[in-house]
Structure 1
Amino acid sequence: MLEISGLERLVLENQVTAIVLLDAELKIQYVNASAEQLLGQSAKRLIDEPLATQVKHSSLDLGKLDTVCRSGQSFTDNEVTLVFDSHHALVELSATRIQNRSLLMLEMRAIGQQKKISQELYQHAQQQAAKELVRGLAHEIKNPLGGLRGAAQLLEKELVNPELKEFTGIIIEQADRLRKLVDRLLGPQRPGLHELHNVHSVLEKVRQLVKLDLPEGISVERDYDPSIPDFEMDHEQLLQAFLNIVQNAVQALGENGGNINIITRTAHQATIAGQRFKLAAEIRIIDNGPGIPTELLDTLFYPMVTGREGGTGLGLSIAQNLINQHKGKIECASWPGHTEFTIHLPLRR
């Protein structure tokens, strides 16, 4: 049992930072109140437990802690994702060896909320820049395409040989395909018709559509909060947004199979695009697939960004555009075995 003096305990217990003391075998010897809250367990349950049994996944290689124990070389990582049994946290983590006690001290400060706010502002600025770039490109592409298609149609009328008309048909077909791609890149440019509708009826429609072509071994479950009231929406737009996300999950699971869960709850005092809402609908779409590569997470909602071979990278970009038109926001958290998209839509009286 680790002995800590009354003064030391008083100082540690009043730290806002979560502090965990580990022995040479990386077993927990002490946690302060902030660490109990972060790990979601009481000190009584945590003492003498290996840290590795409490952390189900870490973006930090926990082997680095062994290195600190042996070398005494401290380190700090500004952004570490830790996954526990029932929750996950984004923290700034420092590891220091306490020389005279043969202990390793972990200091962890939750940065999830600050990261979300700064990421939201950064993403908004980047999305606006991307939209302007896409609009400019679309204009430059559409004009020549129109001329190309028109010229092919005129040429087709002049041709007598049916075999040659096959080639003009290919030109027209490919010009139409490119025009559709550009239109999809731009997404809906005008707000839809908003009417009172129930979000669960939209989600049920999504489930029905997905189940029509659902690969074997994949299940789609739901857990709805019936207290969410009807609110003004363009249900066709939200249907498309939710469908894109669920289909993304189906493609991620692929032939390996797995589970997709659609969960709805009400969120109180939700902050969306810097504005506070007393009440919002929270829709979470979770799959237990391989997870999204770390290098894609920051650019996931950009057009043409995809981690799937043959993918267009437009599904999530369009989904975000549609959610934005409802004054909502969409976020993603992912690690191996868990990918979670969370959508917040404000509920106005």
Structure 2
Amino acid sequence: MAHDVTLIATAAMGLESIVAKEVKQLGYDVAIENGKVVFEAPVSAIPRCNLWLRSADRVKVEAGRFRAVTFDELFEATKALPWERFITEDGKFPVSGKSVKSTLYSVPDCQAIVKKAIAERLKLKYGVAGNLVETGALFKLEVAILKDEVVLTIDTSGSGLHKRGYRTGQGEAPLKETMAAALIMLTNWEPDEPLIDPFCGSGTIPIEAALIGQNIAPGFNREFASEQWKWVKKQYWEEAFEEVEDKAWYNQKLDITGSDIDHQMVDIAKENAMEAGLGDLIAWKQMQARDLSIRKPNGYLIGNPPYGQRIGDREAIASLYSDLGKVMANHPSWSVYILTAFDTFEQQYGHKPTKKRKLFNGFIQTHYYQYYGKKQ
């Protein structure tokens, strides 16, 4: 396939600008929409984006976009699209769907109609009289209808991009790897500066920081659905993996520490770091936040502490935040970034943030409290 494709990098609400920045850094011009970043790019961008995007949830190919208010319109407009460019004769193409504020509100019916229209088109183009066998590569389709505008996409990623391949274990309320990477990218941290996460849980923030610090592509350790697609040439994947190897800074020294009150979580974090190939690059400690020991100036504390919603009780959490505020008051050169849904965080911490940003951690509305340090 020689022509460019329209790609969509999906994003958690509030992270669209971070995903857009990443896509631009890969060299593609973007348009930001709610929950996604849309861009035209050559087919070779599919491997590159899947390997490099740290904060995006998935990379999808937009197969078509049109308006439809009747099932006939949906069927005919879908059938008119060049599906044979994307889906092989034996390709598996399950269809999922969603409909918001649209005339065509029955999602099961929309899915069935799209599936039938694509099958009709493929049978016509491939000269198949009976049913398509669907034993080949997976082309996971979605029909999404918003205010009567239909967008048909094919998922290039397979498993969500947060599944980096290094998580051997996790706690009760794990932070998604994509969110952890975004929290780091929302700071001004540089790889030669100290970074501490005193609520490291299974180690996601320190591990993502180490990957960023050594410029290691987050997708280097996993597989993607589009690796099986004939029109995404093997050459593109080989070139993308070569780029990943060429751009890594394996010699970059890092000063990253992850600590947690739970020694079992610290053990899991160590195992996850080993699985990520980061070995001894991160220091791991079992300790309480109040015992945090900071020896160097000009560092960054990035944390996703318990919110008092699913883990722990409010009184204990309030005390935890108060302890952290007292410790960090003694280190004015440090910048502190805390993600929490705790409604009185500022009062407990004892300081007003320089900035705060609304983010969704899963389905929980949180604020990212940002305290900028005064560099020495």
TM-score category of the 2 structures, normalised to the smaller one: under 0.3
Greater relative contact order (Cα < 8 A, sep 6+): 2
The structure number with the bigger radius of gyration is 1
Higher share in helix: 1
Name the TM-score, length of structure 1 as normaliser: 0.23
Name the TM-score, length of structure 2 as normaliser: 0.22
Higher share in strand: 1
